Amino acid sequence: MASIRVLKSNKLYIDFRYLDERFREVTLLENSVANKKTLAQMAKRLDAEITLGTFDYKKYFPESKSLKKVALLERRKSQGRLGDDIPTLNQQIDRWLKEKEVEWRINYRNTMANLINKHIRPDLGGILLDAFLRDGAITFRSGLAEYRTPSGKPLSNATINRIMTILKAIVEDGCIQHKLITPFDRIKKLKEVKTHVEPFNLNEVTAMIEDVRSDFRSYLITRFFTGMRSAEINGLRWKCVDFERREILVRETFTQGIFEYTKNDPSQREIAMSTPVLEALKRQFESTGHRGRDGLVFCSRQGTPIDAKNFTNRIWKPMLVDLDIAYRRPYNTRHTCATLWLASGEAPEWTARQLGHANTQMLFSVYSRYVPNLTRNDGSAFERMLASTGTTGVVA
């Protein structure tokens, strides 16, 4: 039942319960017998309308700060969920991450947590799950588009889509559990700019191998001619180098200070050693092979794994500057290897297996312009067909 109370400021307010929640609405009326009588009459009407189910909160308190909360409670009532224990997005995130622990590699889990903690929790963490609606999702995405990194760069559409995909997975998981309608209906992904690989040509590869610091020459040869990812080659141990079969066995990775399983199952593979790689690893064995089968193939002077960031800053960048070669990430050694294999005429299926791809789809999507005429359509096959049949013009 609604009651009339007095604030320390001598203003009157109404104290009442609606939809199992307590509300206090302050008025502009001073504490007096006449004003109390006026509010008592209003409170009586308010109680009656709540009982009859005709109460309109906004009609009584149009400027109230509780209107959003009331709208949420009324929506819950209409859905038969009044009184449900609905979590905040922070609570839903915690539950979702806990459930995903068994599915993800440690490094992937850390990456996801970093994105969530940086972009999702600060803006949305305190919102109740069923209070996060479609307009809230669109507003959040707009905020991501306006975000600037410490260096002043905006987030790419690909990054924004990735964050939104994570948020969608978190929210829809909670929606299923609490029987809510997803707020992501008809929210499309932003258009992403297609990126193009920038491999080094063979002359650049040769120059880089000759220029690099001598203790990193075998490392660079192996990267350029096996297509191994940074985490794969930095975690390579001698027990995974089979000189007899001329194979490198990719079984684990090293990144962010942790050894763990490869990126995915197809990444577990055997890479055939070309002669340059075989000779480079034999030379490297003389340097680090004494550490035993569990020892790292490539490591620091202290026997610790090569740090990818340290290699980039202290070896890779100075080398490119010295050779006046346009900067590309070390990952481009992988792209370079793929294009060299394909351009030399190696079968796409074999190339895909060597790179650790599940199929050739990515090869033709990313490296199509480097595939030779045997497997790539560029018009020359049609020209040869016309020439073989003596057709040199178009029949009118």
Per-residue pLDDT of 282-338, as tens digits, reads: 999 999 998 888 899 999 888 899 999 999 999 999 999 999 999 999 999 999 999
Neighbours of 75 (CB within 10 A): 14
User: 145-160 pLDDT, tens per residue?
Assistant: 999 999 999 999 999 9
Tokens of 149: 């990194």
According to DSSP, residue 367 is labeled S
Contact present, 124 and 163 (Cβ < 8 Å): no
Q: Check whether 394 has a pLDDT greater than 50.
A: no
pLDDT (average), residues 356-363 = 88
User: Any bridge partners for residue 12, and if so which?
Assistant: 6
Question: How does residue 395 score in pLDDT terms, banded at 50, 70 and 90?
Answer: very low
Q: Check whether 82 has a pLDDT greater than 70.
A: no
Instruction: Give the pLDDT of residue 367.
Output: 85
pLDDT (average), residues 203-216 = 95
**Within a 13 Å sphere around the CA of 20, how many CA atoms are in the beta-carbon half?**
9
The SS3 assignment for 299 reads strand
Contact present, 1 and 16 (Cβ < 8 Å): yes
Q: How far apart are CA 179 and CA 70, in angstroms?
A: 20
Instruction: Give the pLDDT of residue 389.
Output: 59
Domains and CATH numbers, the chain: 3-78 (no CATH), 89-178 (1.10.150), 202-370 (1.10.443.10)
Q: Check whether 180 has a pLDDT greater than 80.
A: yes
Tokens of 269: 């593979």
User: 241-257 pLDDT, tens per residue?
Assistant: 999 999 999 999 998 88
AA identity, residue 173:
D
The residue count of the chain comes to: 396
According to DSSP, residue 94 is labeled H
Q: Check whether 376 has a pLDDT greater than 50.
A: no
For 105, residues 6+ apart whose C-beta sits below 8 A from its C-beta are 260, 261, 263
Query: Cα angle at 243 between 255 and 362, to 5 degrees?
Result: 50
According to DSSP, residue 199 is labeled P
Instruction: Give the pLDDT of residue 396.
Output: 43
- Can you give the pTM of this predicted structure? 0.72
pLDDT (average), residues 90-113 = 92
User: 70-80 pLDDT, tens per residue?
Assistant: 988 888 888 77
Share of the chain above pLDDT 90, in %: 69
